[in-house]
Chains A and B, each alone.
Chain A
Amino acid sequence: MESRAHLFKPSAREALDNPDLQQALRRVQAGFVGKRKALVDQFPDFEGLRDRGRAIKDHTLAHLDVYLEQFEARVTEAGGQVHWAETQQEAQQIVVDICRQVSARMVTKGKTMAGEEVQLNEALDAAGVETVETDLGEYIIQLAKEPPSHIIAPAIHKTRQQITDLFNEHHHGTFNDTLREVPDLVNEARGILREKFLSADVGITGANCLVAETGSMFLVTNEGNGDLTHSLPRVHVAIAGIEKLVPTLDDASTVLRLLARSATGQEMTAYTTMVTGPRREADTDGPDAFHVVLIDNGRTRMLGGRFREMLRCIRCGACMNHCPVYAAIGGHAYGWVYPGPMGSVLTPMIVGLDKTRDLPNACTLNGRCQSVCPVRIPLPDLLRDLREAQYDENLTGKPTRYGLGIWAWFALRPRLYAALARVGVGLLGRLGRRRGRFRRLPLASAWTAGRDLPAPQGPTFQAAWRNRRREESR
């Protein structure tokens, strides 16, 4: 999809005013957060597991060239073919060419965020190939012609009524709006998609993990759609970012332990599949050809600098499930494929900092994302670094720059700063005593337009800090 991240502010405002979305977002928090916590609490050493996850990914990234070549050699030995795509266009071309070679008319797709990233569906549409998303959530948003709003629950923003309406319209051509039950909706999609699975020419999936040791890929689903996608058509194409690699099967085990718990709060999803190459000679089912498309699309750029740590990401979605900003506005406001904290780092890195100015700032630096990240990505630090990069590249707005300049001038003069803060805080405290908050403030109307400023209570932070230190030392 084209990035709409430059429209973050108006989109966020719309999201806050959308009652259906707000209702849906409350379910995210209730579901994923609680289930994850229950499992993490009963795991003997989850913190140690996170350390191991980080170490595996760091080691892999430091030897990425070695493991990629090893992976490629193993895939080839198993009868598969590895393709390398530096850009979105190259990735699209590779997949379109594979489809053309087998004269594919219809393609089934398992959920792939890398595929979303390189706009695979748009490219296949343009090439005259029908694509059918088979993950139920992806199928729903494909009917609605919307992008995913969550990386593991793409249709989480949709209510049952909206899904009922979509199914009635697309499956029956009616606009009967009687609300339908969940089993009824799931069954209907099952029936329709079963036909597609059985008649597709090519199946495209993502990959949760690539293993250098064996040239295998792991596919993690609950619905079983990924397995029907890779095992029924004549050709299986897997598409994955180069950072999805791990060295060995044992390392994959660690990643899988982290992934299911962090993503859906399951010890294991219903289906965790390891695919290696196409069907063997004696096999009676499975695809004749197996392709892996390895995607760079900005990742090698991240590898060299401060943002290498972001390449540890295993796409579990825990950061967005725990993010108060995501909880308030949902995924669409972020304007591209990856929402929430991980998206606010990745989108600027891939789409460009100049087109995503608001994303690094849409964060309260509360640190919850970092505290749950299974591979310990310091997301708040990276977001702060992006803000700095924005400042350095002159992408920060003039009022903010002036404001920061003025603040810095005072901050370099601590006594003056403390004195003025004392006067200011005292004044605001007295003025706001009655209501306890300010609806509007001169010179800060942009800030107070969306929120109230609580009136200061008591002394300044610095004074309170000094008093506390003094009491502690007594």
Chain B
Amino acid sequence: MSSPRERILGKIRTALARQTVPTAAEASSSRLATLGDGTPQRPVWTESNLERFTRCLEAASGTLVRVRTVGEIGQAVAEYLADKPAGQRVHVAPNPALEAVDWPETLTVEQATHGRDALVGVSFAEAGVAETGSLAVLSGPDNPTTLSFLPDYHIVVLRTADVVPYFEDIWVRMRERHDFPPRSFNFITGPSRTADVEQTLQLGAHGPRSLHVVLLEEAP
């Protein structure tokens, strides 16, 4: 008896009236012939990429603060949390880019391996997408996925140099990495939200109730 896999592929080949099955290379060149290698249709803007990023992030209810050096990140986080009922405990992704952060003594800092007990999580974004104001956060030992979803307050550090215009630019950058794709690649655009009750927008559905970006001007 044939397997469901063989049956499904068989039915597809019958439906497509296949004589021979094209190779992956043939499919790929057929794709190129159909779609061309020109730029796909996408948004355009006249402001700078960083301005567009900021505008879109804020439109999605995210907030943003700029710092000059890695050292200043700690103070910026403390200031952001000062007027919030978030406690003093901050769970930070064990990311090399955040090692040099100078954390104020008012905060208790824990290296996070997950987000299970975190009310405040600090992650590092690989990139920002100007097109939509999205943060690209990649999973890995230095960036646990659940730290982006379980805390009430999600704080993400992003370097200004890592803001790219479009999604396609992200793929170009990422394809070069040996560990790409990671298990989980999150585009985060504002805090969690729902409109499932009478189409009324409510922030903080299951994930973070707020999203705060610390924009780092210093290059690595």
Contacts and interface: CB of A to CB of B under 8 A. Distances in A.
Interface in A112-155: 134-137, 140, 153-155
Nearest to A268: B132
Interface stretch (A6-14, A192-200, A331-339, A398-406): A192-200
Contacts of B139: 283, 285-286
A156 B15 contact: no
Contact of A44 (B44, B115, B146, B182): B44
Interface in A25-66: 27-28, 30-31, 42-46, 48-49, 52, 55-56, 58-59, 62-66
Given A55-B35, A273-B186, A153 B195 contact: yes
B105 interface: no
A136 B15 contact: no
Nearest to A242: B8
Contact of A284 (B3, B141, B189, B199): B141
Interface residues of A, number: 103
Interface string B116-134: 1000000000000001111
A276 B183 contact: yes
Nearest to B93: A284
A304 B205 contact: no
Contacts of A63: 22, 27, 30-31
B41 A228 contact: no
A90 B4 contact: yes
B206 interface: yes
Interface string B168-188: 100100000001011111111
A97 interface: no
A466 to B, nearest CB: 44
A222 B198 contact: no
A69 interface: yes
B41 A49 contact: yes
Contact of B149 (A62, A224, A267): A224
Contacts of A275: 183-185
Most chain A CB inside 10 Å of its own CB: which residue of B30, B133, B184, B188: B184
Interface in A219-257: 222-225, 227-228, 230-232, 242, 247-251, 253-254, 256-257
A222 B35 contact: no
B193 interface: yes
Contacts of B189: 267-272
B113 interface: yes
A85 interface: yes
Interface string A294-315: 1010001101110010000000
B40 A286 contact: no
B196 A283 contact: no
B146 A232 contact: yes
A249 B171 contact: yes
Given A44-B43, A55-B35, A232-B146, A279 B194 contact: no
A227 B148 contact: yes
A281 B196 CA distance: 38
A34 to B, nearest CB: 11
B9 A65 contact: yes
B31 A86 contact: no
A271 B187 contact: yes
Nearest to B25: A66
B130 to A, nearest CB: 11
Contacts of A214: 181
A107 to B, nearest CB: 16
Interface string B187-213: 111111111111110101111100000
A129 to B, nearest CB: 21
B146 A86 contact: no
A59 B34 contact: yes
Contact of B183 (A28, A85, A134, A280): A280
13 contacts: A49-B40, A59-B34, A78-B181, A154-B196, A163-B197, A223-B196, A224-B207, A267-B131, A273-B187, A276-B183, A286-B183, A300-B11, A301-B11
Q: Which 9 A-B pairs have the closest CB atoms?
A: A224-B207, A304-B15, A223-B205, A284-B113, A300-B11, A137-B196, A268-B132, A303-B15, A49-B41
Given A182-B200, A232-B146, A269-B189, 12 more contacts: A46-B41, A48-B41, A49-B41, A52-B35, A84-B4, A140-B196, A227-B148, A268-B133, A271-B188, A271-B207, A274-B181, A285-B114
Interface of A: 24, 27-28, 30-31, 42-46, 48-49, 52, 55-56, 58-59, 62-70, 78, 84-86, 90, 134-137, 140, 153-156, 158-160, 163, 182-183, 185-187, 190, 193-194, 197-198, 214, 216, 222-225, 227-228, 230-232, 242, 247-251, 253-254, 256-257, 264, 267-280, 282-286, 294, 296, 300-301, 303-305, 308
Interface of B: 3-5, 7-9, 11-16, 18, 21-24, 27-28, 30-31, 34-35, 40-44, 56, 60, 113-116, 131-134, 139-141, 144-146, 148-150, 166-168, 171, 179, 181-200, 202, 204-208
